[in-house]
Amino acid sequence: MVEEISLQGPLTFARFMELALYHEGHGYYMTQAVAQDPAARERIGWQGDFFTAPELSPILAKTLVRQVLEIDVQLGHPSPFAFIEMGCGNGSFAADFLQYCQVVAPDFLARLRYVLVERSVHLQSVQASQIQEVIGSSRDGLLCWVSSVDELEEGSVVGVMFSNELVDAFPVHRVRCGQDDLQEVLVDYEDGQFMERLGPMSSSTVESYVSQHGVRLREGQSSELHVVAEQWMIHVARVLRQGIVITVDYGHTGSDYYNSERNNGTFLCYFRHAISTNPFERIGEQDMTAHVNFSALAKAGEACELQKLGFTNLANWLMGLGVEEMIGDEDPESKEIQALSQLLRPHGMGTTFKVLVQRKGLEPMPLQGLRYRAFFDDVL
């Protein structure tokens, strides 16, 4: 980073975040945590810096199986049925999804092609061992890994493209509103320290994001721009021939995102479950994340044939897919129920997490996961 700054001048915040998270040798997601630790540990989970829904409970994967089986009917039981998971962390979601398919849908499993799109080579190997531990050896052609969605052939996917907490891990540009106009936050290095510097918008892509999504902030307010997420959506649309895209993440509609009450944007860092807003400490050793602008994602999809089918929150999604009946007579004190109550928390994950569902090459259809909508259809 320092070398890049000395050669080219200040970096955009997105470039800084890209290097901090995904640098081949030192990026947060590309390595295990070893600094200040007697033993290496993974980044995600209770021993790590933050947990995610699949690390908490298998229920997200189990309900997704239900949802995918309904979509399989709409698609006329294609063979293969492609399930593309993007940004797979420790592989817990994949392991639970496949294990539940073994139990409830062996015929579907026989047609399934499960593709893990994972940028980190280190995490790819964690995923492979986690999956093998849970489901044992798998049939040829069931599993495959790629490091980026654009490695998949255009129009090659008939099935479902799914992600959980991927989009919040994409690098973001940051902007701050001065007296009259928006300025971009850049990262400079001076006297042995990283520091912020304000400058004009770094590219026409950033400028057009601001105008397309009507980003207006009040004086002194900061926020983020999701240019990388928009580009990802375009790749997803290109790869999908027919099927559904399901994006689960924490985030807001565009108008909530840039609301003047949200003065400092949504950017946060996580280290050992403690939150901070300082990106310049523990670089490569702490997670960095920004909430998702779901309106921008939906709009980017619509420009390339991905139509919005629905938008709800995680609690309603899980309830619609019958989570109550799935947990049956489980002891309320059990680990499973405790974990589930985290996912359903009305002032926590249940409402902060949203689910965006888009379709391509399919007529609008009712889906169980969208039975209980949290918002009017035009909220995005």
Ligand X SMILES: C[S@@+](CC[C@H](N)C(=O)[O-])C[C@H]1O[C@@H](n2cnc3c(N)ncnc32)[C@H](O)[C@@H]1O
Which residues are near ligand X by CB under 6 A?
29, 44, 52, 54-55, 86-89, 93, 117-120, 123, 148, 164-166, 169
In sequence order, what are the residues at sequence separation of 6 or more whose Cβ sits closer than 8 angstroms to the Cβ of residue 72?
A: 78, 81, 108
> What's phi and psi for 166, nearest 5 deg?
-90, -50
For residue 144, the cross-strand partners are 115
**Shortest Å distance, C-beta 54 to ligand X:** 5
CB of 323 to ligand X, least distance (A): 18
| Nearest CB to ligand X, comparing residues 85 and 201 | 85
In whole angstroms, the minimum distance from the beta carbon of 149 to ligand X comes to 6
Burial class (CB in 10 A: 0-12, 13-18, 19+), 313: buried
Distance, CA of 341 to CA of 314 (rounded, Å):
12
State the minimum distance, in angstroms, from the CB of residue 88 to ligand X. Answer: 6
Q: How far is CA 101 from CA 46, 97, 115, 237, 339, in A?
A: 26, 6, 15, 26, 21
- Residue 318 Cβ vs ligand X, minimum distance, rounded to whole Å: 15
User: Which CB atom, from 93 or from 271, has the smaller least distance to ligand X?
Assistant: 93
118 neighbors 145 (Cβ within 8 angstroms): yes
- The smaller minimum CB distance to ligand X, of residues 170 and 194, is found at 170
Distance (Å, whole) CA 349 – CA 352: 5
Measured from the CB atom, is 165 or 285 closer to ligand X?
165
Return the sign of the alpha-carbon dihedral for residues 120, 126, 128, 134: negative
Shortest spacing between CB 225 and ligand X, in angstroms:
17
CB closer to ligand X, 120 vs 312: 120
Taking the CA atoms of residue 292, residue 294, residue 295 and residue 296 in that order, the dihedral angle to the nearest 10 degrees is 50
Q: Which is nearer to ligand X, 123 or 240 (CB)?
A: 123
Whose Cβ is closer to ligand X: residue 54's or residue 243's?
54
Q: In angstroms, what CA-CA distances link 75 with 64, 116, 186, 242, 307?
A: 16, 21, 46, 8, 16
Closest separation in Å from C-beta 233 to ligand X: 12
The Cα 57–Cα 65 span in angstroms is 14
According to DSSP, the residues that pair with 188 across neighbouring strands are 195
Task: Give the Cα separation of 127 and 87 in Å (integer).
Answer: 11
- Return the number of the residue (63 or 120) whose C-beta is nearest ligand X: 120
CA angle 246, 69, 357 (to 5 degrees): 20
- Both tokens of 74, joined, read 């709409």
Specify the residue for token string 């007579």. 329
Residue 44 or 185: the one with the smaller Cβ distance to ligand X is: 44
Query: Min. distance of Cβ 345 from ligand X in angstroms?
Result: 17
CB of 41 to ligand X, least distance (A): 15
Local structure of 114: helix, strand or coil: strand
Tokens 């994001």 locate to 209
